Amino acid sequence: MANVKNAVNKTVFRRFLFYSIVIVLLCLLIITVILIYPVTDYIERVKKEELIKNTEDVSAKITEISSGKLNASEEYIFTYLDGLSESMDADIILSDKSGRIVFVSSADTTHNIGGYLPALVLSNLDDSSFFAYGNIGGFYDKAYYVAATPVYTNTGTVAGYCVVAQHTVWSSDAVPSVFFVFTLVVLLSALLIFSLTSVYAFNTTRPLKQMTAATKRFASGDFESRVYVKNKDEIGELASAFNEMADSLASMEGIRRNFIANVSHELKTPMTTISGYIDGILDGTIPKTEQEYYLSIVSEETKRLSRLVTSMISLSKIDSGEIKVNKTSFDILDVVFSVLQSFESKLSEKKLTIEGLDIEENIMIFGDRDLIHQTIYNLVENAVKFTNENGVIRFEFSKEKGFNIVSIENSGKGILPEDIRFVFDKFYKADKSRSSDKRSMGLGLYICRTVVALHGGKITADSKPDEYCRFTFTLPEQKRKKLLSADSKTEEK
């Protein structure tokens, strides 16, 4: 499995590197192709100007000699033209006025003295210069750059024509040099791209490798691994999300372990008590005069187990999303009185006073009656448990901005400021301020918050240590549709 993942990492790295190099090389190729035309056009213009100038210089030199301005023999002229032809790597051809060739340079050419210039050159010359690229109507066996100008006498009449032709744009010696330079540029570019891309690809795939290694450790139960986040790009966001997930998994693992420990303890303690007392009654260890007392303890422990199972079932339904809210309109005072009857013995035992229920009118609430009953039950149970002897539990009901507001306050130790923001968390128990709640599973308030949220409301906690603790939740009022009855329609008519 590890080899497969390493192979995957290497494949990602190699693919990233390969595609980066291919893209850059394609860009270089495209740029080269795009530049071919303007560069070639520029070279052709330069070559045209150069050839025409050289041709005009040769023609002017011959005109000076023929007019007597320059004292030189024919042999000198031909030697001069041969040298010039060799230095230019070009053919130099002289013809008379009719186009018959009278001189051919020592450059490589297939034309001999006595032949004629092509009609294409003669028809386009007259008193102007001529330039063309090609084989000039079959005059050459391959493409040449050809320039031609008239040669004048001392009276200004055309005495003949001078033709200068070059085979290629670059000389044969320059081609290998250009190819070498281009190849060197491509290789250096590829090397630079490879180096930069390798560094970037390595830095990009490193968090992925770290996440792979961390995932393996997660599978073995080690949730301490984190990914180092350096960049703020998509990979950095992924690494940050991975670290948040790792934090959540670590937190959930801690909750899971605490949950298992708490459930084990909560189940073991009452079951041990029940088993011990029942065995004591059956084997006669507990006398008949005391059996009723111990059976009452067994009854309380059984109810405790029942509450635990009920809370676990509710929690399971909440986490799986199975709870469905069936809203109806009902009087919340009926629910409150029903809940208080369940705690009648405990209220009397602690001599608690109930306030805020001396209300004559109905307080209608729109919601799921069973879920709201469970919410109020959990809050009242919480209040009864932590209210001091001879203390007070106070109810308040109000409306504000389309919400029904229900508040349950109890006197007593209250909740410390550092604990109050955690009281609605799953399995949380503030033992420092609620030491009497050692047997609580920490699910009641979490269920309350979830139920209220399902109704579209909010629940908050407010407390002043050693004075009071207050829980307040809101529920949206029913949205009433403005419909006209049949009778009202009739009256309008």
Q: What is the pLDDT of residue 33?
A: 67
Q: What's the burial of 142, exposed, middle or buried (CB within 10 Å: 0-12/13-18/19+)?
A: exposed
**Cβ distance 363 to 403 under 8 Å?**
no
pLDDT, tens digit, 9 for 90 and up, residues 352-391: 999 999 888 889 999 999 889 989 988 998 899 899 999 9
b/e code 385-409 from CB counts within 10 Å (16+ = b): bbbeeebbbbbebeeeeeebebbbb
Helices in 169-233 by DSSP H: which ranges? Answer: 174-219
Supply the angle between the helices 2-66 and 74-88 in degrees, to the nearest 10: 170
Q: What is the pLDDT of residue 330?
A: 93
Token pair 């906690």 is found at 461
The CATH number of 2-175 is 3.30.450.20
Chain region(s) in the chain for CATH 3.30.565.10 = 323-476
Identify the residue with better confidence: 327 or 222.
Answer: 327
Q: Which residues make beta-bridge pairs with 472?
A: 407, 460
* pTM, to two decimals: 0.46
Identify the residue with better confidence: 289 or 313.
Answer: 289
pLDDT, tens digit, 9 for 90 and up, residues 413-468: 888 888 888 888 776 665 444 444 445 566 788 888 988 998 999 999 999 988 89
Identify the residue with better confidence: 347 or 224.
Answer: 347
Chain region(s) in the chain for CATH 3.30.450.20 = 2-175
**Cβ distance 295 to 302 under 8 Å?**
no
Confidence of residue 394 (pLDDT cuts 50, 70, 90): very high
Chain region(s) in the chain for CATH 1.10.287.130 = 226-322
pLDDT, tens digit, 9 for 90 and up, residues 118-159: 888 888 776 677 888 888 877 787 878 888 888 887 777 888
What class is the 226-322 domain? mainly alpha
**Cβ distance 28 to 187 under 8 Å?**
no
Identify the residue with better confidence: 432 or 98.
Answer: 98
Q: Which architecture does CATH list for 323-476? A: 2-Layer Sandwich (3.30)
